[in-house]
Structure 1
Amino acid sequence: MSKTPPGPSIPAPQGTPAMRHAPAHIGLRAFVTDARRQRRRRRKVMLAGSLAALALLLAGCAGYAPKPLPANAHWQDKLAALRVNPSDIPLPRLAAQPLDLGQPLTMDAVATLAVLNNPQLQLARDQVGIAQAQAFAAGLLPDPQFSTTQDYPGNSAGATSSAYNYSLNFDLGSLITRPAARAAATAHVRDIDLQLLWREWQTVGQAQLLFVQLSGLQQRDALLRSQRDLLRRGLQRTRQAVAAGNLPRTNADAALVELQAVEQRLASDAQQRLQLESRLHALLGLAPNVPLQLAPLPALPAHDTAAAHEALAHLAAIRPDLMALRAGYTSQEQKLREAVLAQFPSFSVGLNRARDTANVNTLGFGVSFSLPIFNGSRGAIAVQRATRQELFDAYQLRLDQTRADVAQVLANLDLLQHQRHNLETGLPQLESAERAATAALDAGAITLPQAQAQRMALLQQRLALQANAQQAAEQAVALDLLTGTGVYRPAPAALQPDTPKPTSELRSKSR
């Protein structure tokens, strides 16, 4: 069997070694391409995840809307525009009183309208809203912190990849002080709420006091106008007698001086009435030109000294200002506790996910904490302790001052009662003397100045009685405010005074 002779040998072309290595280059290029695709795919996934997380965060964010300031004064230009729903105030006895704007306003009606419409109270209610927002903020957990870095290699001849580092951290130190911070914020809300209640009590007292003063002016002016009319008639008769030559001109001059003195007192009362009415309009949130018709001052009950002394023993559980100071002291105690807890090292923990340029992936965690060597919250503790001592002294001072104020009012009422007894005892004698002087003047037995002296003595006695009654009414209003009696006393079905219903709940609809 013959063999086929081998053919002529063909020389190998240049580049044959490179052609022998071509499959390796093709595989490396394919590997790099796949790696790049995977990296792009991972970046797209990470970008999509980041966008989704960002969308979720933005969905939970609050929006902003501007609120421009008003350009004009906000006064109610008519009485019917005032709020008249007594259920919005936390004084059951005052809320139970009927309120009819079509009738002359009683003292309780004026007090009710003042609490419902006073602009200053609206600012106090806004402060309650701020305190509630602060309490809400104190209860929120701290946000975790996320950080990321991305590095891209450059001018590298070897096989490299982009590097990244993802870190998620959470501060655990705030969890230590969070209970104390929440307790402090909650007590602060109660403090501000009770301060609002005390301002409402004071607004009621101011409205009642203005009502008493305006009613007193009306009663005094009635006496002065009656005396003025009498003097005008007497002056006319005197001038006729002077013209007839029966009396000297000095008698007419003396009668004119007496009349002008009464006119000046009426003019002074008119100016004082304008000031009191302006204060009452501002208290009610009314425009200055809105007319107000007040009912006569009712007969106030005599003060009960035994009830006042009984209230003194429980003032800390009755007076809203004292309860507010106690709530503020409780809040400060929690702030001091928070400062003490803050002296311990605060630390945070975190998770890390990273890859370097050599495509080495790592997963780990980290812990960081502060060393309380130089600060250690010692300054904050000193400040909170000093503040607590200040609140302690303020509460003791207010308690002592309240007892002194009540004792002073009771002493004033006893003195006014004794003075009224003396004034009422001497009034019949002065009335009899004035009638006798008038008869003697008509008979020519006495001179006109002598008769005028008797009339003026009687007028001064009546004015003194009116002033005594007004002062007694003012002191009674003050005693009710200081001891929590009268309209401030809770109704039988109401809550106990040491645990009153928050005033912010009672007026949540009004805000």
Structure 2
Amino acid sequence: MRQFVNTRTAIVVAGSVFLAGCTTFSKDGGFDTVATTASERLGKNTVHVKTDADRQAVAGRTREMLAKPLSMDDAVQLALLNNPGLQVSYGELGISEADLVQAGRLPNPGFKFSRTHSSNDLSIGRTFSVGILSVLTLPIASRIENARFEQTKLQTANAMLVVAADARRAYVNAVAAEQAAQYAARVKDSAEAGAELALRMRQAGNFSRLDYAREQAFYAESVAAQAKAQQQAVSAREKLTRAMGLWGSGTGYTLPDRLPDLPKDRPQLNDLESFAMQNRLDMQAAKLQTQSVATSLGLTKATRFVNVLDVGYLNNFETDKGHEHGYEISVEIPIFDWGGAKVARAEATYMQSVNKLAQTAIEARSEVRESYSAYVTNYNLAKHYRDEVVPIRKTISDELLLRYNGMLASVFELLADSRDQVGAVNNYIDALKDYWLAETDLQQAVGGRLPQQVAASSPPAPATQPASPTKLEGK
């Protein structure tokens, strides 16, 4: 920037230099906001990997967690430690802080030197200059960049919550797909046994051609269903692997056999819309964006007529005149451009930011209502399958098997019940999966956590194991 020659100018420069000296890089680089959000809203740790020591610490923690079957919380924690996309988001903090520090520093001064001579005269010109407008607007520019840095912190923390939610969904889908694949394998084994028994009975003349064809068709369909379920399990597992950022030997992790049980009672959640408006980080970031644009608009109006204002100190020398001292001021004259376009652009940008904030609020409220409805519906549906459908199907299966062994029920009834049982169990697995996905969506919709004063639920109910398909044995 350029230097001044009077006392007032010197004071402005000195104050700006002091301000510039105060604008330095922070120790945490803005990451404390992200780490605190992960701890308070998820109960997890996250690391901005910058050094080899950080990488080694993350690798050690990862190996420790992969040594046992993964829980839902484990999957989220691994994603927060290893997901490369999350590390990319963390890099935005460094970029934004660099912009903040740059905005708080004085621009470099300019120096111009000229030397001319004629036959008898030598003329030397030296000019040391600094841009006064940049000096005057330095405090406001610093405040604007500081607001943007705070906005970047919130956006980065929100990106971390999104990664955590995606990892949770991927975990639910992977475990449910694995559970469905295991059940499909048992169904295939049962269908194979039924088809074998039907063949024996057909050969003995005790089974009609139609009933035999039905059992063969059920077996053929179960083979196809088992292959499809296995492929879905592989695909869901790979999505989880990507979400957790694992590769190499880390991909050999072990998943539990089934999803966590449905909570015994569903917590009552009230005033979720208001909670979401206060808790969601994207709402907070949008508010900061609007405030920052408003501040920038004020700066634009203040400087609309002054595009360039430079002050310089002159020290010239000519052989016949000696040294000449003085100063020069250069300013653009607003003849063709009065700054109206700049102000109009700033006002349009401000209204755009206001409308974006309103749209974000509308979408957030709608997401809360939609996700809460899905949360309640899927809980009730999963509970219905757990408490009503699956137990009834298991009772029917057990009773039919007893009657079949006691020669009181025909093989036709037993085989038909085996087919009916498959649909009920698969529906329960899907209902349980949908509940955990709905809970994840609701948590994300309200800002990464449910209201703690009402979110605590009762201990989980005893595990309800899916009924195994009846396996027929030849008599």
Task: Tell me the residue number matched to 1:318.
Answer: 279
Which of these residues, 252, 256, 274, is aligned with residue 291 of structure 1? 252
Q: 1:88 and 1:404 mapped to 2: Cα distance?
A: 27
Kindly provide the amino acid, as one letter, of the partner of residue 261 in structure 2: A
Please tell me whether residue 167 in structure 1 is matched to residue 115 in structure 2. Answer: no
Match of 2:218 in 1: 258
Aligned residues: 397
Superimposed CA distance per residue, residues 417-476 of structure 1 (whole angstroms, 9 cap, x where no aligned partner): 44345444344444444456567778597573x654433222212221221111111101
1:472 alignment counterpart: 435
1:234-268: CA deviation from partner (whole Å, max 9, x where unpaired): 22222222223332344333212112222222211
- How much has 1:211 moved relative to structure 2? 0.9
Give the 3-state SS of the residue equivalent to 1:293 in structure 2: coil
CA contact (8 A) 1:281 1:288 kept: no
Corresponding position of 1:330: 291
2:118 equivalent to 1:153? yes
Check 1:457–1:288 CA distance in 2 against 1; reply closer, same or farther (3 A cut). Answer: farther
Residue 91 of structure 1 pairs with residue 7 of structure 2 = no
In the superposition, relative to structure 1, how do residues 215 and 115 fare at CA in structure 2: closer, same or farther (>3 Å)?
same
Q: Which residue of 2 aligns with 1:500?
A: none
Aligned to 1:238: 198
1:299 deviates by: 3.3
8 A Cα contact 2:178 2:230, kept in partner = no
Residue 304 in 1 paired to residue 267 in 2? yes
Conserved in 1, the CA contact under 8 Å of 2:130 and 2:311? yes
Q: How does 1:135-154 map to 2 (within 5 A)?
A: 135-154=100-119
- Provide the residue aligned with 2:73 in structure 1: 108
CA separation in 1, counterparts of 2:66 and 2:420?
A: 41
1:202 Cα offset (Å): 0.7
Check if 1:460 corresponds to 2:456: no
Spell out, residue by residue over 1:82-128, the C-alpha distance to the aligned partner (whole angstroms, 9 max, x if none).
xxxx9798324523799633111211111011011111112111122
Cα distance change, pair 144–291 in 1 and its aligned pair in 2 (3 A):
same
Q: 1:220 and 1:353, CA in 2 relative to 1: closer, same or farther beyond 3 A?
A: same
Alignment equivalent of 1:387, drawn from 340, 349, 357: 349
| Contact kept? 1:161, 1:357, Cα under 8 Å | yes
Distance between the aligned counterparts of 2:66 and 2:450, measured in 1? 20
**3-state DSSP of counterpart to 2:291:** helix
Task: Mark the CA change 1:407 to 1:303 in structure 2 (over 3 Å): closer, same or farther.
Answer: farther
Match of 1:403 in 2: 365
Residue by residue, what CA displacement relative to the aligned partner does 1:290-349 show, whole Å, maximum 9, x if unpaired?
21212353335454333xx33421323311111121222222222222211221424222
Task: State TM-score, norm by structure 2.
Answer: 0.75
Q: Is the 8 A contact 2:304 2:342 kept in 1?
A: no
* 1:339 corresponds to: 300
Distance of aligned partners of 1:363 and 1:422 in 2 relative to their CA distance in 1, 3 Å threshold: closer
- Within-5 A mapping of 1:191-270: 191-270=151-230
User: Could you tell me how far apart the structure 1 residues matched to 2:450 and 2:369 are?
Assistant: 20
> Relative to structure 1, is the Cα distance of residues 171 and 488 closer, same or farther in structure 2, using a 3 angstrom cutoff?
farther
The aligned residue for residue 187 of structure 1 is 147
**Which piece of structure 1 moves more, 430-439 or 274-283?**
430-439
Maintained 8 Å contact 1:128/1:189 = yes
Over aligned residues, Cα RMSD in angstroms?
3.0
| Structure-2 change in CA distance of 1:414 and 1:360 (3 Å) | closer
Contact 1:201-1:488 within 8 A present in 2 as well: no
Shift of 1:197: 0.7
Q: Which amino acid aligns with 1:135?
A: L
Change (3 A) 1:431 1:488: closer
Shift of 1:398: 1.4
* AA of the residue aligned to 1:283: A
Residues 1:88 and 1:319: Cα distance change in structure 2 (over 3 Å): closer
1:272 aligns with one of 232, 240, 243:
232
Asked if structure 2 preserves the Cα contact closer than 8 Å seen for 1:303 and 1:476, the reply is: no
Q: Which moved more, 1:429-438 or 1:346-355?
A: 429-438
Equivalent residues of 2:314, 2:327 under 8 A apart: yes
Change (3 A) 1:194 1:119: same
Change (3 A) 1:284 1:417: closer
| C-alpha deviation, 1:478, in angstroms | 1.1
Q: Deviations over 1:113-164 (max 9, x none)?
A: 101111111211112211111111111212222111111222xxxxx44211
Secondary structure of 1:305's aligned partner: coil
Structure 1 CA distance for aligned equivalents of residues 116 and 226 of structure 2: 91
Counterpart position of 2:473: none
Is the radius of gyration larger for structure 1 or structure 2? 1
Write the deviation string for residues 169-216 of structure 1: whole angstroms up to 9, x where unpaired: 221111232222211111111112211111110111111111111111
Pick closer, same or farther for the CA change 1:190–1:203 going to 2, 3 Å. Answer: same
Partner of 2:331: 369
Gaps of 5+ in 2: 1-33, 47-60, 454-475
Q: Secondary structure at the match of 2:336?
A: coil
Q: How does 1:5-16 map to 2 (within 5 A)?
A: none
Q: Is the 8 A contact 2:275 2:446 kept in 1?
A: no
Partners of 1:96 and 1:194 lie apart in 2 by 17
Quick one: structure 1 residues 101 and 488, their matched pair in 2 at CA, closer, same or farther if it must change by over 3 Å?
A: farther
CA contact (8 A) 1:94 1:108 kept: no
Q: Deviations over 1:337-371 (max 9, x none)?
A: 22112214242222212233423432112122222
In the aligned structure 1, how far is the partner of 2:36 from the partner of 2:374?
35
Residues 188 and 328 in structure 1, CA contact (< 8 A), matched pair in contact too = yes
Q: 1:417 to 1:166 in 2, by over 3 A?
A: closer
Cα distance in 2 for residues equivalent to 1:314 and 1:476? 16
Q: Measured at CA, do residues 122 and 88 of structure 1 come closer, stay the same or move farther in structure 2, by a change above 3 Å? A: farther
Which residue in 2 is equivalent to 1:125? 90
Extract unaligned runs of 5+ from structure 1: 1-85, 155-159, 491-511
Contact 1:88 1:116 in 2 (8 A): no
Name the CA shift for 1:263/1:165 in 2 (closer, same or farther; >3 Å).
same
> TM-score, normalised to structure 1's length?
0.70
Counterpart secondary structure, 2:246 = coil
Conservation of the 8 A alpha-carbon contact between 1:228 and 1:262: yes
